[in-house]
Amino acid sequence: MSNCERLRSSVGYRCVQAFLMALFALIPLQSHAHTEEAATGFLSGFTHPVFGADHLLALVSVGIISSQLGGANIWRIPSAFVMAMIAGGVLGVYQMPLPYGEFGIALSVLLLGIAIVFSNKKTSPLLITVCVMFFGMFHGHAHGLEMPKTAEPVYYTFGFVTSTSALHLLGVIIGEISIRRERLWKALRYAGAGMAACGVLFLLRVLPSYAY
pLDDT tens column, 20-35: 555 444 444 444 444 4
- Residue 162 pLDDT more than 70? yes
CA nearest neighbour of 136 among 173, 170, 111: 111
Please report the pLDDT score of residue 44 as a whole number: 83
Least confident of 100-109, 121-130, 178-187: 178-187
Task: Tell me the percentage of the chain whose pLDDT exceeds 90.
Answer: 51
9 has a pLDDT exceeding 70 = no
Q: Is the pLDDT of residue 51 over 80?
A: yes
Task: Tell me what the mean pLDDT of segment 116-123 comes to.
Answer: 91
pLDDT of residue 149 exceeding 60, the answer is yes
Print burial letters for 103-115: b (CB count within 10 Å at least 16), e (below 16): bbbbbbbbbbbbb
Q: How confident is the model at residue 112 (pLDDT cuts 50, 70, 90)?
A: very high
Q: Identify which has the larger pLDDT, 17 or 115.
A: 115
CA 194 – CA 174 distance, rounded (Å): 16
- pTM value is 0.80
Give the pLDDT of residue 74: 95
pLDDT at 198 over 70: yes
Closest CA to 173 of 47, 51, 56, 62: 62
The pLDDT value recorded for residue 118 is 93
pLDDT, tens digit (0-9, with 9 covering 90-100), for 54-110: 999 999 999 999 999 999 999 999 999 999 999 999 999 888 988 899 999 999 999
Please report the DSSP string for 60-103 in residue order.
HHHHHHHHHH-TTHHHHHHHHHHHHHHHHHHHHHTT---TTHHH
Name the residue type at position 174: I
Q: How confident is the model at residue 211 (pLDDT cuts 50, 70, 90)?
A: low
